[in-house]
Amino acid sequence: MRFCPGNRYHALRHTRRKTQAVVQKIVAGARATAASLKDGDQLILGIFAELGKTGSHDAIIRVYLADPEIREKIISTEQFSQRCVRRAAILSA
């Protein structure tokens, strides 16, 4: 079998698309979690996602939450994280 550089590029693009799809599901899970909560519109200050910095399979996702005084009235950080993971799993099913 011959090595063709184009095939490697296609494989990397494919991997990046799959990673991007996972990131989108996690971000959607975070937004859906906040939307399902009373005063959830005050919870998320921003979402930052970085793809492929160390490889096409790599992603860093940060959800910036409101200050503790506001956040703890709505949901704990741990509970929010658990719900996001569950919602992302449901979205990927």
Q: Per residue of the chain (93 residues), give pLDDT as tens.
A: 344 444 445 555 667 788 888 888 889 989 999 999 999 999 999 999 888 777 767 888 899 999 999 999 999 999 998 888 888 777 655
For residue 41, what pLDDT is reported? Answer: 94
Whether this model's pTM surpasses 0.85: no
Q: Which domain holds residue 86?
A: 5-92
Instruction: Reduce the DSSP state of residue 46 to 3 states and report it.
Output: strand
* Nearest CA-CA partner of 23 in 40, 43, 47, 44: 47
pLDDT tens by residue, 63-82: 999 999 999 999 999 999 88
Identify whether the C-beta of residue 87 lies closer than 8 Å to the C-beta of residue 32: yes
Structural domains counted in the chain:
1
For residue 12, what pLDDT is reported? Answer: 57
